Chain A
């Protein structure tokens, strides 16, 4: 856990962290790219850490800029028979299915 009320606290993002984030975001990263990303992300996070100057313990987080309540609608099916349209842009399909590399041996 990060202690966030320390001024200019900055945790450096190392290569191990980059590998971890790359795994979470499903983006493959080689050594060279990981090093470049670590450099970029560190400079961006250095800039982001400025927020730690602010005390926000008693502030409610903003969840929506609109001060109106969102409209509700009836739960009705409005579009039907879209199968063809949905499949149309898939890189590989087999009639009614999206095709992916084998997942079960």
Chain B
């Protein structure tokens, strides 16, 4: 079977269960394609020979009752993997080898999956284009010199280019959904508290969530089922009854009420995005859902709120990088000098910028004006969603205000880079689940995504809506393998 890497996760699992393919064959196919795809720069760390060894071991005594039997997969380099280097895309962690495993990745290995390697990402997940990574930009397989989105850019590129059948990313302000949209794949940000944050390099603790990225909704649902669990090692993990997301997946969304928020019609939204949104509305109507106009009046305040809350939490979280306990250390004349040089040389420009913003908004005299103010506005944003969900079951919006842009196009203008996340950030601020599905192409042939936002803990509902829409949209990603010589 030469087309192993073209198969979806569900097909691979079926073929392994039917003994038509071995884990070794599948793993070798993805390793080979990954090796031929180095120009994409999707991997930070490859663990290929260990992966093949693990696959052989799996095949000796295969447990086919597992949910991911012998399936190889690469993960974002923000998840701590025991004895495998974990960098968070940063120079400051370039030599860090965790002695423990994140809960989310442990859940994946427990179901029989095999680690292929660690995928590139923006430094500490701070970015929307993967350009802030210490390990360089990642290419979008859609076109040369196009960003794959961020911060889970290595993850989106690797799934779209079929270097891994599925992957996991993390999403603090859009870092799963925006790159999914830019590369024509599916990405889910679960409800805050659904997936454990234990062992994930922290960015902004009240916003960070891990989530699945896949080629289709069914695969995404399966991976979500594997990673979502209550974990006492994360005090914000929530003990609620999780669904059997795949078993309960249905395209019957008849009578569901879908809200269309008027505030998401932002100024200067490209016509292509407006048209895509209209098409999306038609698709859900075709499926028998009811469209209801709603208002989320504080939408325009979400990004400014985010750019106070996220850097504030980041500046506290990143205080731990002091050159003492782990990570990079620069030489200094004394302790303070060592701290300052370590952090100045170890962190990249965007991370330093955000630590500075965070430090400033938390500093004496400014805390009330900025941080407290932002937490109050965050409450208003959450109230908007609570109000809307009295009338609707889910909300449909575009995922991003544009398709993928060229590498270097926005690096000199932080605010224009931040605007990428305008449709995704409110969801994190309110702690809700959101899924991005590929829904069409722009004039250049680049993919565009639509986002479905759900009520807290209602992942099943948005997966079902996405599943029904996926069938109507019948999206085909245009991948030409241009990077393979």
Task: Give A contacts to B, CB under 8 Å.
Answer: 1-2, 4, 13, 17-18, 21-22, 24-29, 37, 40-41, 43-45, 47-54, 56, 59-68, 70-71, 73, 85-86, 88-92, 98, 100-103
Contact = CB atoms under 8 A, between A and B. Distances in A.
B325 A65 contact: no
A25 to B, nearest CB: 4
Contacts of A70: 235-236
A62 B378 contact: yes
B414 A21 contact: no
B369 A47 contact: no
Contacts of A53: 301
Contacts of B368: 1, 4
Contacts, number: 170
Nearest to A91: B329
Contact of A66 (B344, B357, B431): B431
Contact of A27 (B96, B305, B328, B347): B347
Nearest to B321: A26
Nearest to A99: B324
Contacts of A100: 324, 335, 338
A102 B336 CA distance: 10
A7 B333 CA distance: 47
Interface of B: 95-97, 99-100, 192-193, 206, 232, 235-236, 238-239, 298, 300-301, 303-305, 307-308, 315, 319, 322-329, 332-341, 343-344, 347, 352-353, 355-357, 359-360, 363, 365-366, 368-370, 372-380, 382, 413-415, 418, 429-431, 456
Contacts of B324: 90-91, 98, 100
Contacts of A52: 373
A18 B356 contact: yes
Given A53-B301, A59-B379, A101-B335, 8 more contacts: A50-B300, A50-B304, A51-B373, A59-B376, A61-B372, A61-B378, A65-B430, A100-B338
Of the listed residues B326, B333, B352, B376, the one surrounded by the most CB atoms of chain A closer than 10 A to its CB is B376
A26 B372 contact: no
21 contacts: A28-B337, A28-B341, A28-B343, A37-B356, A40-B414, A41-B357, A48-B304, A50-B301, A50-B304, A54-B301, A56-B376, A56-B377, A60-B376, A65-B431, A66-B236, A67-B456, A71-B232, A89-B99, A91-B323, A91-B329, A98-B324
Of the listed residues A43, A66, A85, the one surrounded by the most CB atoms of chain B closer than 10 A to its CB is A66
Contact of B340 (A27, A40, A44, A67): A27
A48 to B, nearest CB: 5
A41 B353 contact: yes
Contacts of A90: 324-326
Contacts of A27: 340, 343-344, 347, 352, 355-356
